[in-house]
Amino acid sequence: MDKILRIDMGADGGPQFKTEPMGDYAGFGGRGLTSSIIAKEVPPSCHPLGKDNKLVIAPGLLSGSVAAMSGRISVGCKSPLTGGIKESNSGGQASQMLGRLGYAAIVLEGKPKEKTLYKVFINKDGVEVKEDNSLCMLGNYDTADKMKAEYGDKVHCISIGPAGEMKMSAASVAFTDMEQRPTRHAGRGGVGAVMGAKGVKVIVIDDTGCAARTPADPEKFKAANKEFVAGLRKHAVTGEGLPAYGTNVLTNVINEAGAYPTNNFATGQFETAGKISGETQAELENARGGEGSATHGCHRGCVIRCSGTFYDKNGNFLSKQPEYETVWAHGGNCGIDDLDKIAQIDRLDDDFGLDTIEMGATIAVAMEAGVAEFGDADAAIKLVKEVGQGTPLGRILGNGAAVTGKVYGIERVPVVKGQAMPAYDPRAVQGQGVTYATSTMGADHTAGYAVATNILGIGGSVDPLKPEGQVDLSRNLQLATAAIDSTGMCVFIAFAILDQPETFQALLDLIGSFSGSPMTADDVTAFGQTIMKLEREFNAKAGFTNEADRLPDYFQSEPLAPHNVTFAVTAEELDQVHNY
C-alpha cells in the first residue's frame, strides 16, 4: 500500500479525485493513519458536518496480506457525537481489498454544493465517481444488493443507511461481510453522518486481478504467521470460548461478576440474563441450523471466528449473530430477554446504519424517561423504526443518548464526551471506567479493554472493585490498542498475546518480517504513544480539558448492586493516565 486516494466532493464542476504517494504518512496504517491525517489536516474547531472535516477510511498495515486476523479497517474524522477526534473500527471485506489494490487510505474531502448522492467505484483500472440519486434513503441491505446487481458478484461495499443521509450522530458506516451483506459496522462516533455530509452513499470495491501483498521476508513471515495462528488456537478464549459461543459468551461472565449494566445502568445484574447468553444463543442457532450459524468470521483470514449468522424461526436469514455489546445494549440494558427480538433490532440498526451500542443506550434512557417501559421489546423495535423513518422523535433518538437525555431532562445518562458507555459498568470494572473516562474517543470499551485483566484474569489480575492499579492498567492497554488498531489486527488477539509471550513475539515477528524492519515490544509502546499524542493534541485544540476525562457524577454517588460500590478512581489519578 503506497498511495492515498483523495476525493474532493466539493470541487467546482462536481467531485474530483486524485491519487498521491504516502509522503509524510509513510509507515502509518489503520488508526495511526486516520488519526495522523485528521490531526494534521482538519481544523479542530471545524463543524463535524462542514466542508473542512474529512472522512478517512484506512486498512491496517498488514491488510491485504495473508497475515491472519489482519482484515480490520479504521474510519476516522472529527466526530459529530463527541466533537473530538474519532477512529471507529470494523471487520468486513473492504480492508483486505483496499490493501491488495494498493490504497493505504481513501480521504473524502469538501462538501457537495447540491443535495446529490454519489457512488464511488474502485478497481485495478482506476476510480469512478458518479451521481446516483436512486440510492436516496435506501437501507444498507438494498444498497448492497443494488451494487451487486450493477457491478457483479465480486464486489464489496462501504455504505451508509438513512441515518447517515440524515446526518444523525449515531450513524454508522457499513462494510459488507464475506456473503456481501452489510453486517459489519464502524459504529461509534457518528462516522456515518460525516460520510452523509460528504454526499457519498456507497463506495464499491472490486479487487479482481490483484494479488496479496508480498512481505519483505517471505520465509520469516510464513513461519511467524504459523506460530501466531497456533497461539490463537491454543488459548482458551480465542481458541475455544469465542469460536463456540461468540462474543456473547461474556453475558453470563459479566452478569455473574455483577458488572452487567441493567435498566440504564441501574444495577449490575440482569435476572434473566441466561435467556440471552452466548450459550443459549449458540444452542438456538445450532438447533435452527443454516450456513455459518454459530461460528463465522467477520472477514477472510479470521481464525478466531467469533461471529455467526442468525436465522429466524422459519430458517430465513435475519441478521449476523448479535454481538455481546448488541445483545446487552438492546437486551439487558433495556430489560429485554428475547433473542429473536434483539436480532430484529440488530437487523434494523444495520439496515438503517446505526451504532447498536449508542442506540441501545439511547432507548434505555428513553425508557427511563417514560417513553417506553423497560422490557417492552416491541416498543423498542418501534423506536428504532422511528429513527429510520426520520420522525421528530426518531431524529432525537438518532442523535444519541446524551441528546435524548437532555431533551427528556434525564440526569442518569451513561456517556463520556457525548458517547454512550458499552456493556460494563465502571463501578464494578474500575479499570474499564478509567478507559471510558480518559480515552480520546469518548466511552469506548475497545480503546483499552481492562475487562480482560479485571474480570478474566488475562495478563495478570487487578481487583475490579478497587481503584488500585487501574490507571497503569488502562494506560498500558490504551497504548497497545492504538498500535494494534494500526496493523489491521483484531483487538481480540490481545487475549492470547497478553497470556502467551511466544504469541506476542510471533506477532512482532509477523509485523517486522512484513515491513522489513524488526519490531520490539518497546516499539509497540512508542508507536502507541505517537498516535495517542496526536489524538490528545487534536482534542485539546478542539476545546477538551482534563474535565472532559471524567465519568458522570452519579457513578461516584450511586452504589451499584450487588457489590454496592461506587467508582473510586479520583480525578487526580485520572489525570495521570496520559503521562507517558
* Residue closest to 327 by CA, chosen among 341, 342, 317: 342
At 361, list the grid cell.
443506550
Supply the pLDDT for residue 240.
87
**250, amino acid identity:** L
Helix (H) or strand (E) segment spanning residue 472: helix 470-487
Range of the domain at 294: 260-424
| Domain annotation covers residue 213 | no
CA–CA separation, 531 and 36 (whole Å): 7
* Contact of 268 with 258, CB cutoff 8 Å: yes
At a CB cut-off of 8 Å and minimum separation 6, what does 27 contact?
Answer: none
At 324, list the grid cell.
455481546
* First vs last C-alpha separation in the chain: 31
| Domain annotation covers residue 237 | no
Helix (H) or strand (E) segment spanning residue 122: strand 118-123
* Contact of 82 with 442, CB cutoff 8 Å: yes
**Number of domains making up the chain:** 2
CA–CA separation, 511 and 519 (whole Å): 7
Supply the pLDDT for residue 298.
72
Domain shared by 395 and 270, yes or no = yes
Helix (H, G, I), strand (E, B) or coil at 59: strand
| Distinct helix (H) and strand (E) counts, the chain | 24, 16
| Domain annotation covers residue 447 | no
* Contact of 167 with 104, CB cutoff 8 Å: no
| Domain annotation covers residue 84 | yes
Domain shared by 173 and 286, yes or no = no
Which DSSP state fits 570?
-
- DSSP-derived pairing of the beta strands 419-420 and 415-416: antiparallel
At 416, list the grid cell.
463520556
Domain shared by 398 and 304, yes or no = yes
* Contact of 144 with 173, CB cutoff 8 Å: no
Domain shared by 112 and 199, yes or no = yes
| Domain annotation covers residue 211 | no
2-17 exposure pattern, b = at least 16 Cβ within 10 A, e = fewer: eebbbbbbeeeebbeb
Domain shared by 33 and 168, yes or no = yes
CA–CA separation, 356 and 361 (whole Å): 8
From first to last of its 580 residues, the chain has per-residue pLDDT tens of 789 999 999 999 999 999 999 999 999 999 999 999 999 999 999 999 999 999 999 999 999 999 999 999 999 999 999 999 999 999 999 999 999 999 999 999 999 988 899 999 999 999 999 999 999 999 999 999 999 999 999 999 999 999 999 999 999 999 999 899 999 999 999 999 999 999 999 999 999 999 999 999 999 999 999 999 999 999 998 998 888 888 999 999 999 999 999 999 999 999 999 999 999 999 998 889 877 666 666 767 788 877 889 999 999 999 999 999 999 999 999 999 999 999 999 999 999 999 999 999 999 999 999 999 999 999 999 999 999 999 999 999 999 999 999 999 999 999 999 999 999 999 999 999 999 999 999 999 999 999 999 999 999 999 999 999 999 999 999 999 999 999 999 888 999 999 999 999 999 999 999 999 999 999 999 999 999 999 999 999 999 999 999 999 999 999 999 999 999 999 999 999 999 8
Burial (CB count within 10 angstroms: exposed 0-12, middle 13-18, buried 19+), residue 312: middle
Place of cell 443518548: 401
* Residue closest to 120 by CA, chosen among 132, 112, 109, 133: 132
Tally Cβ neighbours within 10 Å of residue 541: 14
At 90, list the grid cell.
470494523
Domain shared by 73 and 183, yes or no = yes
| Domain annotation covers residue 448 | no
CATH classification at residue 331: 1.10.569.10
Which residues, listed in sequence order, are joined to residue 73 by a DSSP beta bridge? 59, 90
Domain shared by 193 and 274, yes or no = no
| Domain annotation covers residue 404 | yes
Helix (H, G, I), strand (E, B) or coil at 552: coil
Among 380, 403, 424, identify where a domain stops: 424
Supply the pLDDT for residue 292.
64
Helix (H, G, I), strand (E, B) or coil at 174: strand
Across the chain, which distance is largest between two alpha carbons, in Å? Answer: 63
| Phi and psi angles of residue 526, each rounded to the nearest 5 degrees, phi first | -65, -40
Among 168, 190, 205, identify where a domain stops: 205
Q: How far is CA 265 from CA 250, 295, 333, 360, in A?
A: 17, 30, 7, 12
Q: What is the DSSP string of 319-357?
A: EEPPPHHHHHHHTGGGT---HHHHHHHHHHHHHHTB-HH
* Residue closest to 441 by CA, chosen among 58, 173, 79: 79
- DSSP-derived pairing of the beta strands 3-8 and 103-109: parallel
| Domain annotation covers residue 560 | no
Domain shared by 142 and 288, yes or no = no
Among 395, 424, 453, identify where a domain stops: 424
Supply the pLDDT for residue 243.
86
CA–CA separation, 260 and 553 (whole Å): 19
Domain shared by 264 and 199, yes or no = no
Domain shared by 197 and 307, yes or no = no
Which residues, listed in sequence order, are joined to residue 129 by a DSSP beta bridge? 120
Which DSSP state fits 179?
T
At 107, list the grid cell.
480521504
Q: What is the pTM of this model?
A: 0.97
* Contact of 269 with 537, CB cutoff 8 Å: no
Domain shared by 283 and 413, yes or no = yes
CATH classification at residue 24: 3.60.9.10
* Contact of 251 with 278, CB cutoff 8 Å: yes
Domain shared by 130 and 37, yes or no = yes
